[in-house]
Amino acid sequence: DQQVKQNSPSLSVQEGRISILNCDYTNSMFDYFLWYKKYPAEGPTFLISISSIKDKNEDGRFTVFLNKSAKHLSLHIVPSQPGDSAVYFCAASARAGGTSYGKLTFGQGTILTVHP
């Protein structure tokens, strides 16, 4: 049962344009969402996050949108740069036993390629 899904395995974008990466989730208990960027043979690097009490969070070129009713979130990168080419993972967490957010449930990832 895949609770977090990234339905697009890959996305190709021209430099300077907008990249939109999508993520859907099924577990209503998720209340915090994160996006990570990953290069091969390296650990994921945190990009941006959003709490379920918000519907938008911005950090520089990165904006995450959350639609709770649709159980859908998206990451917008504007403008896209060749250095943004990597695998992007969305992840979700839910408070476990009132204490821990230590378990992240990841999507399968989307390979973003930004062409010069």
Least Å from the CB of residue 116 to another protein = 28
107 is a site residue for another protein (CB under 8 A): yes
Within 71-90, the residues that bind another protein by CB under 8 A are 89
Interaction between residue 104 and another protein (CB under 8 A): yes
Residues composing the chain: 116
Nearer to another protein, 36 or 80 (CB): 36
Site for another protein in 34-73 (CB under 8 A): 34, 36, 41-46, 49, 51
By CB under 8 A, is residue 106 in contact with another protein? yes
CA dihedral 16, 18, 19, 22 (to 10 degrees): 170
Vertex 87, ends 82 and 91: CA angle to 5°?
130
Dist CA 110 CA 92 (whole Å): 16
